Amino acid sequence: MNQRPWWLLPPGSVNPLWWIPIGAAVLAADFFLGPSPMFPVIYSLPVILAAWYSGRWPALALSLAVPILRLALLLARAPVDLPAQEGATLLRGVVIAFMGLWFARLGALERDLARQVKVLEGLLPICSYCKNIRNERGAWEQIEGYISRKSEAEFSHGMCPACAALHHPGMMDE
């Protein structure tokens, strides 16, 4: 099996509620470090992780809540130029929301590809006569049952014209 690239986040999912304390920790760090950064890139990290592990809605909620709460903390700290801070907050929220949506899509795509690879990966030991497949335990089972367990495929049975002519001659004449 191929190794995952080093730059790709590990697979899995996280309860969306975990992002609340992480977002609060980022806000607290920003509050104690001071209002100097014009675009705190650190806000994008929890949004990216929320998007990857919990999906687009937790990422969007975090990308909107954190800049708004930052603005509220900034206003509580000292008087500031409100229109400029509102504009910066809006821009910050839009950029971080875009990044969150982008990573949510990438995460969904990666999970979908991993599922498809798992279904298609590997060699299937199949009997050349009866077409049974040897499973992981070494037992032989019908191909339909094996593939149904391993994928979302469903089977319908019919008969090709060659088999119909061989096993049921005259059936095709009707």
Q: Is 45's pLDDT higher than 70?
A: yes
In a domain, 6, yes or no: no
In a domain, 98, yes or no: yes
Neighbours of 119 (CB within 10 A): 13
pLDDT at 140: 92
Provide the β-strand partners of residue 42: none
pLDDT at 35: 59
**Domain check: are 143 and 168 in the same one?**
yes
**Domain check: are 81 and 98 in the same one?**
yes
Q: Summarize the confidence of residues 49-76 as an average pLDDT.
A: 85
d(CA 65, CA 166): 70
- pLDDT confidence tier of residue 3, bands split at 50, 70 and 90: low
**Domain check: are 31 and 113 in the same one?**
yes
**Domain check: are 108 and 128 in the same one?**
no
**Domain check: are 37 and 113 in the same one?**
yes
pLDDT at 31: 72
**Domain check: are 101 and 42 in the same one?**
yes
**Domain check: are 113 and 34 in the same one?**
yes
In a domain, 101, yes or no: yes
Total domains present in the chain: 2
3-state secondary structure the chain: CCCCCCCCCCCCCCCHHHHHHHHHHHHHHHHHHCCCCCCCHHHHHHHHHHHHHHCHHHHHHHHHHHHHHHHHHHHHHCCCCHHHHHHHHHHHHHHHHHHHHHHHHHHHHHHHHHHHHHHHCCCCCECCCCCCEECCCCCEECHHHHHHHHCCCCCCCCCCHHHHHHHCCCCCCC
**Domain check: are 114 and 133 in the same one?**
no
**Domain check: are 99 and 62 in the same one?**
yes
In a domain, 135, yes or no: yes
Q: Which of 129, 158, 135 is closest to 148 using CA atoms?
A: 135
- pLDDT confidence tier of residue 1, bands split at 50, 70 and 90: very low
Percentage of residues of the chain with pLDDT beyond 70: 84
More confident residue, 164 or 40: 164
103, 120, 137 - which closes a domain: 120
Q: Is 169's pLDDT higher than 80?
A: yes
Residue corresponding to tokens 């400029």 = 84
Which stretch, 21-25, 66-70, 100-104, has highest mean pLDDT? 100-104
**Domain check: are 113 and 138 in the same one?**
no
Q: Summarize the confidence of residues 70-76 as an average pLDDT.
A: 79
Q: Which domain holds residue 47?
A: 16-120
Average per-residue pLDDT in the chain?
80
**Domain check: are 107 and 128 in the same one?**
no
Two tokens, residue 88: 């910066």
Segment 101-160, tens digit of pLDDT: 998 898 888 888 877 777 666 677 888 888 888 888 889 999 888 888 877 788 888 888
In a domain, 73, yes or no: yes
**Domain check: are 114 and 136 in the same one?**
no
